[in-house]
């Protein structure tokens, strides 16, 4: 089965990733639009469960999935999800720790690289391969380092440490339009706090999926998150009209 078309970033040669981000209005690297901007973090997903869990998430409306690499079978699960992904979907890996792992994810058909930390060598390799990269940042210095190396968005991790007030303060100094994804402690009932502070997307892990969960349970939780996002984003959309 051939993989469905998914978002692909512009070739790295179009915008050299070594150029610093000097604009305070339009960052040169941005993620494709995701609706909803919710990333399923499927840590410990067995390869044999990937198709069923992926179907449940896609049917619920999720359009971004990552399988962290620090559990067995992650690459096989990514390959299965990438092959069945609807058009306009990002599938890839989390907990990516080295350029070699970036290469392995690309070989499995993944297009999204998410890290818990800011490692310029990982970002550089992802950008060079034409993959989307969202590294984790814990300080403003790490945020600007990640952007300078071509990161397409920033993962605020752990989000419990940042808090909405910390996110708001960081957003104020970043280039306008920089995608910000809180990860850690995100729940359906606190999305509004984060979006009010400036979050543009979310990584959702244990609140959505834990090893052993069946596809029906994951689908139910996924629908709750999508409904919560719609309720959160509707007032914002109305205020912009």
Cα–Cα distance, 1 to 64 (Å, whole number): 20
Cα–Cα distance, 62 to 84 (Å, whole number): 13
Cα–Cα distance, 221 to 209 (Å, whole number): 8
Annotated active-site residue 155? The verdict is yes
Hey, what domains does the chain have and what are their CATH numbers?
A: 61-231 (3.20.20.70)
Interval 203-230 mean pLDDT: 97
Cα–Cα distance, 232 to 66 (Å, whole number): 23
Instruction: Evaluate if pTM is beyond 0.85.
Output: yes
Given 66, 101, 168, 176, the catalytic residue: 66
CB distance 209 to 192 below 8 Å: no
Annotated active-site residue 66? The verdict is yes
- Digit-coded pLDDT (tens) for 56-113: 999 999 999 999 999 999 999 999 999 999 999 999 999 999 999 999 999 999 999 9
- Digit-coded pLDDT (tens) for 101-137: 999 999 999 999 999 999 999 999 999 999 999 999 9
CB atoms within 10 A of CB 185: 16
State how far the alpha carbon of 120 is from the alpha carbons of 10, 89, 95, in Å. 19, 25, 14
Confidence band, pLDDT 50/70/90 cuts, at residue 209? very high
Report residue 10: phi and psi, to 5°.
-65, 150
Interval 156-163 mean pLDDT: 95
Q: 45 in helix, strand or coil? A: coil
**Residue 36 pLDDT > 70:** yes
Interval 161-172 mean pLDDT: 96
Given 155, 160, 171, 176, the catalytic residue: 155
């Amino acid at each position: 089965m051939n993989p469905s078309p998914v978002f692909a970033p512009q070739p790295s040669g179009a915008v050299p990733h070594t150029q610093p981000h000097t604009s305070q209005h339009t960052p040169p690297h941005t993620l494709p639009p995701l609706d909803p901007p919710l990333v399923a973090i499927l840590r410990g997903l067995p390869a044999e469960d990937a198709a069923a869990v992926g179907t449940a998430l896609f049917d619920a409306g999720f359009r971004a999935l990552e399988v962290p690499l620090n559990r067995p079978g992650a690459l096989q699960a990514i390959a299965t999800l990438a092959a069945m992904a609807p058009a306009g979907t990002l599938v890839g890996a989390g907990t990516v720790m080295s350029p070699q792992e970036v290469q392995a994810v690309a070989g499995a058909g993944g297009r999204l690289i998410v890290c818990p930390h800011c490692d310029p060598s990982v970002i550089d390799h992802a950008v060079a391969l034409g993959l989307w990269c969202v590294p984790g940042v814990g300080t403003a210095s790490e945020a600007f380092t990640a952007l300078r190396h071509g990161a397409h968005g920033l993962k605020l991790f752990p989000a419990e440490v940042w808090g909405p007030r910390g996110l708001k303060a960081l957003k104020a100094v970043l280039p306008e339009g920089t995608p910000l994804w809180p990860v850690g402690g995100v729940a359906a009932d606190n999305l509004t706090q984060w979006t009010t502070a400036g979050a543009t997307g979310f990584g959702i892990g244990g609140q959505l999926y834990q090893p052993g969960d069946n596809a029906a349970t994951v689908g139910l939780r996924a629908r709750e998150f999508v409904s919560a996002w719609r309720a959160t984003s509707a007032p914002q959309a109305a205020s912009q009209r």
